[in-house]
Amino acid sequence: MARNITIIGAGIVGIATASYLRRDGHAVTVVDSRPPGEYCSFGNAGILSPGSCAPQAMPGVLFKVPGYLRDPLGPLAIRPGHFFKALPWFLQLVAASRRSRVEQIADALRPLLKQTFDAYEPLVRNAGVADMIRQTGYVVAYATRAGLQNDALPWKLRRDRGVLMEELDSAGIKQKVPQLGGHYQAGLYLPEQGYVTNPERLTKSIAAQFQRDGGHILQRTVLDIEVSPDGPRALVTDAGNMAVETLVICAGSHSNEFSAKWGDDVPLEAERGYHVTYSDPKFTLPMPVFLPEQKFFVTPMEMGLRIAGQSEFAGNDAEANYARADVLATQMQKVFPGISSVDSTKWMGRRPSMPDSLPVIGPASTMPNVWYAFGHGHVGLCGGAPTGRALADLIAGRPPSVDLQPFRVTRF
């Protein structure tokens, strides 16, 4: 049965979901205060990693945090004013880092992310941008063999779930990515992974095709949602009220501002990350590189080379602190000495992060005709199209090809 569906959020998750719902013949309208792909989906590292099923928090995370926070070039920052607000989220993150729980999380994430190339394929083909998706694999590089050994568990979680990887020594790393020089002693090559050459253009291109296929996108800020016991009735927006029937919340790090209204007060943090894009670096890379000791990716994009990483907890509204992007630029100089920073640009984006690294996908707990697709944290680009396809299946009453139980909103 075709429905009238309204989606809040035109990030990659909202746009991929809109496209799959439109393919099912629903009347679909996306509402966002910004044009498509201009919030977190604008500036990510572009990685499509069907193997990224290991959660962010591993056993022992509690002991690593103080070291990260003390290191001025470290990957983690918590603004003092936000610490107590984020404390319950961090406690849930620590609870999710138990060995038994990380195995369950990896079991849930792998089938979703495994579908990334397959789920994007019809969307990018239809939009005429299939060439933006590259399945080159990526290289992981460690300064020392001990570094790789310290990360044995996250790699084992992936390997146990069928993620292909090849061990590399110093010469092997240099052979795959000659630009890395000889500083790295141990590493991995993951051949099935890939990337998008421009995440913003990907979202905009799929959005434009969605509109050509009869979908609607309205630029409005949603201020509130009017509800009745039978479901949502209207969006209260800065341009007046809009009647709604079926509602999908894909509002990224703002999603719980809506879901809390009917009691789904989920733990969602804006985990802020940064990038620096070098538009004329004077060289490129054959594939992305991940440096796990500093927790950043360097990706060859159509705009140049992009380094992306950092986790800063400061809430949705605090101003960006571009000193965190400068940390990335300093790391970039260390990895690629002499890289030209002429015309480089800096950016901050808010990952919609759940403490257990699992998104929320499925129906609202008590409000009829409301569905969720948010909270993808570090893997929202990768998980966007698989999520959209699974949610469209659920709304159509078809059994989704992924078990969505682990992603239910009531798990907290």
- Residues found near ligand FAD in the complex (CB under 6 A): 8-14, 31-34, 39-41, 44-47, 221-222, 250-252, 254, 273-275, 297, 308, 349, 351-352, 374, 376-382
CB of 175 to ligand FAD, least distance (A): 24
Residue 170 or 233: the one with the smaller Cβ distance to ligand FAD is: 233
Residue 43 or 406: the one with the smaller Cβ distance to ligand FAD is: 43
Q: List the structure tokens of 196.
A: 């998008």
CA dist 250 and 255 (Å) reads: 7
CB atoms within 10 A of CB 375: 30
3-class secondary-structure state, position 151: coil
Strands 370-374 and 246-249 come out as parallel
Which residue of this chain has its Cβ atom nearest to ligand FAD in the complex? Answer: 380
Q: List the structure tokens of 76.
A: 């983690």
Residue 177 or 382: the one with the smaller Cβ distance to ligand FAD is: 382
CA dist 373 and 384 (Å) reads: 9
CB of 158 to ligand FAD, least distance (A): 15
CB of 34 to ligand FAD, least distance (A): 4
Residue 135 or 185: the one with the smaller Cβ distance to ligand FAD is: 135
CA dist 115 and 132 (Å) reads: 17
Q: List the structure tokens of 227.
A: 């509800």
Residue 174 or 200: the one with the smaller Cβ distance to ligand FAD is: 200
How far CA 128 is from CA of 35, 329, 333, in Å, comes to 20, 34, 36
CB of 145 to ligand FAD, least distance (A): 26
CA dist 177 and 193 (Å) reads: 15
CA dist 152 and 144 (Å) reads: 13
CB of 170 to ligand FAD, least distance (A): 26
Residue in 10, 272, 16, 245 with CA at minimum distance from that of residue 122? 16
CB atoms within 10 A of CB 252: 28
Residue 120 or 174: the one with the smaller Cβ distance to ligand FAD is: 120
Residue 309 or 363: the one with the smaller Cβ distance to ligand FAD is: 309
CB of 40 to ligand FAD, least distance (A): 3
CB of 178 to ligand FAD, least distance (A): 23
CA dist 344 and 277 (Å) reads: 5
